[in-house]
Chains A and B, each alone.
Chain A
């Protein structure tokens, strides 16, 4: 069974009725890493939001199955608890909510959902410290409110920390590499690679071939104008780096 199967997905903005996704087809098998590249505004983040269950989009056609579940039927929190994780392009700051309280609540929501026992504060702290260490995040960062006072790169690292703690089966990473310095990119890539296994699928949205040097994808897709225009192996990323998106947008590079 495929991990994720997207069939002819059309989605519009609920308020304006404007169609953004215009027939996406994509299958991710367990263990596979897929990369999506594409020009600004082509609908990559929209796809990630529709998968994560954000309000404000209307799916007008098509279907999305996650394992044996109809993903579109589930609430955002149910999708997360089923194992879908979205690393946000722009992680949200939540003043007043301590990062650790938030993450413990998230993990325990998932555990509760699966009928497992919740972790107490001590057990949780131990777990987080361990994961944070490999991402080079110190206690001072863990103590702050969710993403508050974090630099752009720190926010991205924090997304990966959450992913490591929640251990999702499908990881959608929306431009997690943007805004990272070279060292941080290496740390984040190591964090992602550590999570790679035969059961887990990944969808990396990126603008830079460089990320794919660190996280080797099995497939690369080019998205433009709300559709996947071409798919290939990782050599496609190199080709795009060279030629740009002109072939897909009808404009000169």
Chain B
């Protein structure tokens, strides 16, 4: 495929050109080169790649992306789009840290936030490990592409035993003019033993221009720490969003992740978790809401490496018009991981005949004493419930919206931080209001 290859090269160039890491140590250069090499070998995935069977990035290859210019920093934070959280804010614009609008100083005791280039220069162990980890890019073309041309990001460190009450809020803004831009944020999070913290990510866009955000986040949660990790993907509707999150949990960790996806033209939210300890409570949940011409993919991989841990996974989606949803969930239980308790469920609600969902749940189990279940449901709104509402005077249109809202809000119960559940709830309400406007306009 010479054509595809030319596209791959162009992408690689766009990313590499963006990298602001002059004077970085040699190991960093080597990591970048390894990323480029892996990407060149794997190429941009299409439906022929098993892991990308339902989500092709072919469309991406034909766009010519440029590296973002540095003056993009001037954009306002689109407050209507980001999660409404009183947090410790870190602002990235087109993948680069905007230091002037980021809280890097006067942080609560036990919390340190360092720009990624600095952390690389200081040879931070967590960063070094994350960037050199072959497992983080092996067979993962987009993660490799990110490594080949990291735009920027931060290192977040929560010290051992520290309890950080205020959520840390990464706001990643994408913005482009007439020419599409591509960028690759890379964030590294290290949560020390017995510490507690909350991280919220808002991925949003400004303007109508098309951009491609290809992010990678590493999260290491040490023994007995509690880490809440929530993500709002509310990118511009012309944007491409591909995100990989690598999570590693130690003994007795509580990690809960929730992703709300409603933006972008095409988005893939992928989380790979390694449960490298016993008695871990690991949860990855989410809600996705797709309208016309949107394609939203949630892909998860959970590896139980040690005995007695629990993983929970509940995704709920609503697909309107010709919106498409993809759910791929794999649970791998290694031989030593006896007494693993794994549960995985994807529920999708189709609101239109043209909407589509592909679900692929998978279990791979090598231990013999485990409790694992998985499932997927596809449904429409319940006729009895609709009639009950209408019989009380509520219009078909309002009745449907009430039921969709109830269905989606139910998923928010999985979020352990109330303020975040509330903030995400308002995004659901906003999505429904937008949907109502579309319907009114169509009728």
List chain A positions with a Cβ less than 8 A from chain B.
52-55, 75-77, 79-81, 86, 88, 91-92, 94-97, 101-103, 105-107, 109-110, 113, 145-146, 162, 166
Contacts and interface: CB of A to CB of B under 8 A. Distances in A.
Interface of B: 383-385, 387-396, 398-399, 402-403, 405-407, 409-410
Given A76-B387, A95-B410, A97-B406, 18 more contacts: A53-B390, A54-B387, A77-B391, A77-B393, A81-B393, A88-B388, A88-B391, A97-B402, A97-B403, A102-B389, A102-B392, A105-B402, A106-B392, A107-B393, A109-B398, A110-B393, A113-B393, A166-B393
A93 B392 CA distance: 14
Contacts of A105: 394, 398, 402
Contacts of B409: 96
A94 B387 contact: no
B384 A92 contact: yes
Contacts of A53: 390-391
Contact of B395 (A52, A77, A79, A92): A77
B387 to A, nearest CB: 5
Contacts of A96: 405-407, 409-410
Nearest to B395: A77
Given A55-B383, A80-B393, A91 B398 contact: no
A46 to B, nearest CB: 14
Nearest to A106: B392
A55 B383 CA distance: 9
**Looking at B383, B389, B391, B403, which has the most chain A CB atoms within 10 Å of its CB?**
B391
Nearest to B409: A96
A106 B391 CA distance: 9
17 contacts: A53-B391, A55-B383, A77-B390, A80-B390, A86-B391, A88-B391, A94-B403, A102-B402, A103-B392, A105-B398, A105-B402, A106-B389, A109-B392, A109-B394, A145-B406, A162-B392, A166-B392
Q: Is the interface of B mostly helix, strand, loop or mixed?
A: helix
Contacts of B410: 95-96
A145 B391 CA distance: 17
Contacts of A86: 391
A104 to B, nearest CB: 11
A92 B388 CA distance: 7
A213 B294 CA distance: 61
A196 B56 CA distance: 65
Nearest to A90: B384
B396 A95 contact: no
A94 B407 contact: no
B390 A76 contact: yes
Nearest to A162: B392
Nearest to A110: B393
A229 B196 CA distance: 73
A95 B387 contact: no
Contacts of A94: 385, 388-389, 403, 406
B349 to A, nearest CB: 12
Contacts of B391: 52-54, 76-77, 79-80, 86, 88
Nearest to A165: B392
A54 to B, nearest CB: 5
A92 B407 CA distance: 15
A77 B407 contact: no
Contacts of A91: 388
A75 B393 CA distance: 9
A215 B278 CA distance: 65
Nearest to B388: A92
A92 B395 CA distance: 17
Contacts of B399: 77
A103 B393 CA distance: 10
A97 B405 CA distance: 8
Contacts of B387: 54-55, 76, 92
A32 to B, nearest CB: 22
B429 to A, nearest CB: 12
Contacts of B388: 88, 91-92, 94, 146
Contacts of A106: 389, 392-394
A54 B403 CA distance: 18
Nearest to A111: B393
A107 B394 CA distance: 9
Smallest CB-CB A-B distances: 5 pairs? A96-B406, A80-B393, A106-B392, A76-B390, A92-B388
